[in-house]
Amino acid sequence: MNRPRQKSPRSRFSPSRRFGLLGLLAILACGTGSITFTPDEDDAVMALLESTWAIEGTDGLQLSLCEDRVRSDGWDSPGACKEAHVVRGDGRGLEHKEDAAGIGCGGCFLGVRAYVRGLVSGGPFSEPVRVEGCVELGDLWNVDKVFAFPYRVNLTCTGEVPACDSITGELQENGQLDLEVHLDFDMPPEYQETLPLQGAASCTTE
């Protein structure tokens, strides 16, 4: 006796319904989110970045950073991919709201950065050296954590003959700064150190 042929689970849904479910799953998988940037948040971030970190002792590595206002004020593309927001201190922050689709959903991640400049001395440096660069903030894959620690520090030495190729590291929530000094581009870091936060740097408004 032949038993009635059972339908497979797939055949229980019409093609239109299946495509509708697939579309819904795609939307849920992509996900969307938004964040509102405010001058108060900018001020709080910049208050931390405009600081001095140092190892105690005569030859200990010391780094002081201030906002690079020329580069900060030159930013004029809120919501742009990789640079959706640039942090500016002293109440100069731009208030705006950004909606971001996830990677692969026709959107891009929210890049948040601060432009900085300053001085580094001690450690491998025989005299103070000017540096400039940026600090990348937060978890760029999560709009709820664009200000989350650690912050990623990326600096270069300036001058006609730069004293280093780059200074990179991470600023932790407790204020300490984990740094690596690269004197040459294609060599491992020549100097690695964790610098405690010492206090506010002496910054001008230039």
pLDDT at 42: 96
Strand (E) or helix (H) holding 179? strand 177-182
- What one-character DSSP code corresponds to residue 21? H
pLDDT band at residue 98 under the 50/70/90 scheme: confident
Q: Are strands 125-136 and 62-67 parallel, antiparallel or unpaired?
A: unpaired
Q: Whose CA is closest to 63, among 177, 145, 142?
A: 177
CB 61 within 8 A of CB 193: yes
Rounded CA gap, 6 and 148, in Å?
A: 54
Answer whether residue 143 shows pLDDT above 60.
Answer: yes
**Which tokens is 171 given?**
């600023």
Q: Which residue has the tokens 């990179």?
A: 168
Rounded CA gap, 159 and 200, in Å?
A: 25
pLDDT digits (tens, 9 = 90+) for 19-48: 343 343 333 445 557 888 999 999 999 999
Query: Which residues does 146 contact at the CB level (< 8 Å), separation at least 6?
Result: 35, 85, 110, 112, 137, 138, 139, 140
CB 149 within 8 A of CB 119: no
- pTM for the structure as a whole: 0.80
pLDDT band at residue 198 under the 50/70/90 scheme: very high
- What one-character DSSP code corresponds to residue 56? S
Pick the CATH number of 33-200 from 3.40.50, 2.40.128, 3.30.1490, 2.60.60: 2.40.128
